[in-house]
């Protein structure tokens, strides 16, 4: 079972929900932090990091002794990662999407592949809860390839909880695509509602069932609740604006550990998600 925890905007509490649900379920769960531009789930889960792996993506390497400068490689590249200028072939590594098309069309076999560092994967665990996060190389523009590597490293035998990046752009789609359920985390404010609507539209394009967690539920207004009712979005959990919870969060502490009464709430949250997935025909094998 794959549950992706997402939101339309940052700061709604995705990481809080992801980590606390993992802790509430305990063994048999793996938490993936796919917010690779600024991963922070490890600050709360506090796993023991056991190993790290460098992640590279393939980019073209041109042998100028074989190249006839026919420009077929630059013509096929839709990302303008190659340019033929006189007797030179310029490769713009940051624009390359590693599709391999330039190698396929090169009539002289002058293009092979070399690696470009994208970032790192970190593997760890805590009390039987598996943990993987990705950390994007500083200055790197494209995070989806690293997010896909994080997801590919997951153990398919475990319940997978994904802490997705904020927003509705390509990194979020990479973290949501193929999940069994999208748990949207929002807050009852005008900004929260605006970005929730965008996120829900993206999820519906993917055809994945989703539900809501409303964090800081007693601030703002009722418009998020009204929107959820209108759009038939189940509200699976509400968390009040509680100073005790905010103080615990600011110290890197978790709700289910500081306030044991909340453990049952997060366990029940998972059970509701599981019921919706089963109703829709079950999780991916």
SS3 for 60? strand
In order of 29, 57, 156, 174, the CA distances from 53 in angstroms are 21, 13, 19, 20
The domain in which residue 243 lies consists of 2-55+119-279
My answer on whether 15 and 144 are in the same domain is: yes
Residue pair 210/183 in contact (Cβ under 8 Å)? The answer is yes
Q: Which residue has the tokens 């420009």?
A: 71
My answer on whether 44 and 84 are in the same domain is: no
56-95 pLDDT per residue, tens: 999 999 999 999 999 999 999 999 999 999 999 999 998 9
261 CB neighbour count, 10 Å cutoff: 8
For residue 8, pLDDT over 90 is answered with no
238 CB neighbour count, 10 Å cutoff: 15
Mean pLDDT, the chain, rounded, equals: 93
For residue 285, pLDDT over 60 is answered with no
Question: Does residue 114 sit within a domain?
Answer: no
My answer on whether 96 and 162 are in the same domain is: no
For residue 159, pLDDT over 80 is answered with yes
Q: Which residue has the tokens 């805590």?
A: 126
My answer on whether 97 and 192 are in the same domain is: no
For residue 272, pLDDT over 90 is answered with yes
My answer on whether 193 and 230 are in the same domain is: yes
Residue among 147, 141, 146 nearest 164 (CA):
147
173-215 pLDDT per residue, tens: 999 999 999 999 999 999 999 999 999 999 999 999 999 999 9
Six-digit token string for 136 = 């994007």
Mean pLDDT of 10-29: 93
pLDDT value for 45: 96
CA 154, 157, 163, 165 torsion-angle sign:
positive
**Using 50, 70 and 90 to split pLDDT, how confident is the model at 220?**
confident
Number of domains comprising the chain: 2
In order of 7, 31, 95, 263, the CA distances from 13 in angstroms are 9, 15, 32, 17
For the domain that residue 153 is a member of, what is the CATH number? 3.40.50.300
Six-digit token string for 244 = 């005790």
121-146 pLDDT per residue, tens: 999 999 999 999 999 999 888 899 99
Q: Write down the pTM of the prediction.
A: 0.90
My answer on whether 80 and 199 are in the same domain is: no
Phi, psi of 156 (to 5 degrees): -70, -10
My answer on whether 241 and 179 are in the same domain is: yes
pLDDT value for 139: 87
My answer on whether 131 and 102 are in the same domain is: no
My answer on whether 36 and 175 are in the same domain is: yes
pLDDT value for 284: 56
254-271 pLDDT per residue, tens: 999 999 999 999 999 999
Query: Can you point out the beta strands (E) in the chain?
Result: 2-6, 29-33, 48-62, 82-85, 88-91, 111-126, 129-136, 159-163, 181-186, 210-215, 235-239
């Amino acid at each position: 079972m794959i549950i992706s925890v997402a939101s339309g905007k940052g700061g709604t509490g995705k990481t809080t929900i992801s980590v606390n649900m993992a802790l509430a379920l305990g063994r048999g769960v793996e938490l993936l932090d796919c917010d690779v531009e600024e991963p922070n789930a490890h600050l709360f889960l506090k796993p023991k990091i056991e190993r790290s792996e460098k992640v590279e993506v393939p980019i073209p390497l041109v042998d100028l002794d074989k190249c006839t400068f026919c420009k077929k490689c630059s013509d096929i590249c839709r990302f303008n990662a190659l340019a033929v200028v006189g007797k030179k072939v310029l490769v713009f590594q940051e624009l390359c999407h590693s599709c391999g098309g330039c190698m396929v069309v090169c009539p002289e076999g002058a293009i092979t592949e070399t690696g470009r560092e994208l970032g790192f994967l970190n593997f760890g665990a805590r009390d039987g809860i598996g943990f993987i996060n990705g950390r994007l190389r500083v200055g790197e523009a494209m995070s989806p390839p690293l997010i896909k590597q994080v997801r590919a490293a997951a153990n398919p035998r475990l319940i997978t909880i994904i802490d997705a990046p904020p927003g509705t752009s390509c990194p979020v789609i990479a973290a949501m695509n193929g999940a069994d359920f999208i748990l949207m985390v929002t807050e009852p404010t005008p900004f929260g509602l605006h970005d929730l609507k965008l996120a829900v539209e993206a999820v519906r394009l993917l055809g994945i069932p989703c539900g809501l967690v409303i964090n800081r539920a007693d601030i703002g207004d009722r418009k998020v609740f009204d929107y959820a009712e209108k759009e038939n979005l189940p509200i699976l959990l509400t968390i009040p604006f509680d100073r005790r919870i905010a103080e615990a969060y600011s110290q890197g502490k978790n709700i289910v550990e500081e306030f044991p009464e909340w453990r049952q709430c997060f366990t029940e949250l998972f059970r509701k998600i599981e019921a919706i997935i089963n109703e829709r025909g079950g999780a991916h094998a």
